[in-house]
A and B are shown apart, each in its own frame.
Chain A
Amino acid sequence: AAGVIQSPRHLIKEKRETATLKCYPIPRHDTVYWYQQGPGQDPQFLISFYEKMQSDKGSIPDRFSAQQFSDYHSELNMSSLELGDSALYFCASSLDRGGVDTQYFGPGTRLTVL
């Protein structure tokens, strides 16, 4: 079965640089979520999209932005990178069937900021 695809899997950037993470949800899934997991921490919700519209927003810095495109893939854009942005970034997708939704997580993108 198709899973959530994230690219790149690993990314190394310098401070103050920009990074773009991509997420391709499971086919026909209409909801995408982004989470950030710092070293030794639990995943923290950043932002979500439903049918290409932002549906919820968590603790996402103003330096970050995201969008969902017409083909339902999503991109997380991160600017002015800081050392503290080093983390594993997960994308998850789900199909909302009236509240019964299992979130399927991608393998994550490991971002290292030097």
Chain B
Amino acid sequence: KQEVTQIPAALSVPEGENLVLNCSFTDSAIYNLQWFRQDPGKGLTSLLLIQSSQREQTSGRLNASLDKSSGRSTLYIAASQPGDSATYLCAVSAYNFNKFYFGSGTKLNVKP
């Protein structure tokens, strides 16, 4: 069974810092990897989707990379803002099936 791990579990940084969130998965045979943002008690907002054939995707201040062979992905957030404070979840879709396996998330706090 696919297992997804996210490190660190929590991160607190001052505003303006660049930061990296890590995601690792045990089975490299994946279709896609998706990064989500979740605010407390709220739904999941899709941030970036990386197809298994891709290396990275960028959207604004966010950049996600994928190293499928090593089972790793990183989410880079540039010039962090207090509004970025949320839990960031990484999820991979299983090969031949599209259900997602989620990591436990990284809870980010950006201090003004």
Contacts and interface: CB of A to CB of B under 8 A. Distances in A.
B98 interface: yes
Interface stretch (A13-21, A63-71, A78-86, A96-104): A96-104
Interface residues of B, number: 24
B43 A48 contact: no
Contacts of A44: 102
- Among A33, A101, A106, max chain B CB count under 10 A is at A101
Contact of B105 (A42, A56, A104): A42
A108 B42 CA distance: 7
**B-side binding surface: helix, strand, loop or mixed?**
strand
Contact of A48 (B32, B36, B99, B105): B99
A64 to B, nearest CB: 16
Contacts of B28: none
A99 B99 contact: no
Interface string B31-42: 110101000011
B99 A56 contact: yes
Interface stretch (B12-20, B44-52, B78-86): B44-52
B23 to A, nearest CB: 12
B100 A45 contact: yes
Contacts of B31: 99
B46 A48 contact: no
A100 B44 CA distance: 19
Interface in A38-88: 41-45, 48, 55-56, 58, 88
A64 B34 CA distance: 27
5 contacts: A42-B102, A44-B102, A55-B98, A94-B98, A103-B34
B44 A102 contact: no
Contacts of A100: 32, 51
Given A42-B89, A42-B105, A99-B31, A90 B100 contact: no
